[in-house]
Structures are given as C-alpha cells and as structure tokens.
C-alpha cells in the first residue's frame, strides 16, 4: 500500500517538489563524498572551519541521516496527516547544514566556488520550509474541518 502511495505521490507532486528532492539528495551525496574522501577536511583549506566544528566522519553521518531522512519524508508525504510537518522539518534541518557550510566556507577566506553555491541552496531550502509549513497548515485545517464534521480521518 505504501509503495503504491509513493508511486502515485511522485507522479503527482514531483514537479512542484523537485527542489526538495534534489536538495535532499545533495545532502546525502555530501555524506558520500565525505566518506569517499576521508582527508578532504584535512587537505582542503576551505573545509578547515567545518573541521573545527566537528570531525569529518561526524559531518558524514549527520548528512547521511538528514539526507536519507528527508528522502523518506518526501516519499511518504501525503500518506499520513503530519507528513507535511516532516517535510518542513527536513527542509529546516537541511537549512542548518547549508548555513553552517556557507559560514564555514566564508570563514576559510579562500573564496571557493562553494560560496557561489551553498548560499543559494540555503535560500532555496528556506523557501522550501515556507512551502512545507503552508502545506502543513492546510493539512491541519482540513483535519480540523473533518473533526468538526464528525469524520476523524
């Protein structure tokens, strides 16, 4: 049943949520790159401020959990009333990563291409938070209307 929902949901909502899917995958890919390049933080001057925040393997694990979790939230969206709330949470958590990465690259003083990309990802996911919160509010309102009319589902 959930697989059928995921398939239908992807068909119906992917075009309007493509940026959410892409940004979740980017965060997951960040984890993969950090695992495949264990010396990236040590060798890259742009990454030194990030290394000062936490170890590279910790970043990798957190990016894995956040990215995979967000992909799961997107896949089940609509199957459960609170799923838009999870989408908003996933986008908000991703914003924390994009913000820290942006600040880290800015603190490095190397003016890497990351400063052209990560602030934009932060802005895009900030927009995604607002869209998901709007969807969550609409879901809550529909639920309240159904409850008033005697239908709890």
Residue 99 resides in a domain: yes
Q: How many domains does the chain have?
A: 1
102 torsion bin: left (phi>0), alpha (psi -120 to 50), beta (else): alpha
Cα–Cα distance between 111 and 114 in angstroms, integer?
Answer: 8
Query: Residue 152's pLDDT band (boundaries 50, 70, 90)?
Result: low
Neighbour tally for 45: CB within 10 Å: 10
pLDDT (tens digit, 9 = 90+) per residue, 52-89? 999 999 999 999 999 999 999 999 887 777 889 999 99
Contacts of 98 (CB under 8 A, 6+ apart): 118, 119, 121, 122, 125
**In the chain, where does DSSP find H-type helix?**
2-36, 40-43, 48-53, 56-76, 83-108, 114-148
Residue 9 resides in a domain: no
pLDDT at 122: 99
pLDDT at 146: 86
Residue 144 resides in a domain: yes
Residue 1 resides in a domain: no
In the predicted model, is pLDDT for residue 1 greater than 80?
A: no
Residue 3 resides in a domain: no
Range of weakest confidence among 3-17, 43-57, 99-113, 122-136: 3-17
Query: Residue 153's pLDDT band (boundaries 50, 70, 90)?
Result: low
Residue 52 resides in a domain: yes
Host domain of residue 43: 18-148
Residue 113 resides in a domain: yes
């Amino acid at each position: 049943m959930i697989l059928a929902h995921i398939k239908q949901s992807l068909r119906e909502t992917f075009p309007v949520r493509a940026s959410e899917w892409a940004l979740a995958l980017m965060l997951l890919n960040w984890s993969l790159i950090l695992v495949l390049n264990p010396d990236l933080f040590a060798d890259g001057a742009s990454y030194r401020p990030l290394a000062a925040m936490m170890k590279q393997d910790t970043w990798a694990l957190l990016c894995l959990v956040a990215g995979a979790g967000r992909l799961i939230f997107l896949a089940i969206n609509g199957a459960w009333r609170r799923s838009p709330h999870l989408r908003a949470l996933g986008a908000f958590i991703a914003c924390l990563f994009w913000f820290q990465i942006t600040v880290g690259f800015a603190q490095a003083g190397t003016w890497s291409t990351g400063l052209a990309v990560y602030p934009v990802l932060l802005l895009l996911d900030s927009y995604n938070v607002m869209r998901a919160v709007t969807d969550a509010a609409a879901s809550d309102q529909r639920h309240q209307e159904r409850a008033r009319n005697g239908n709890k589902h």
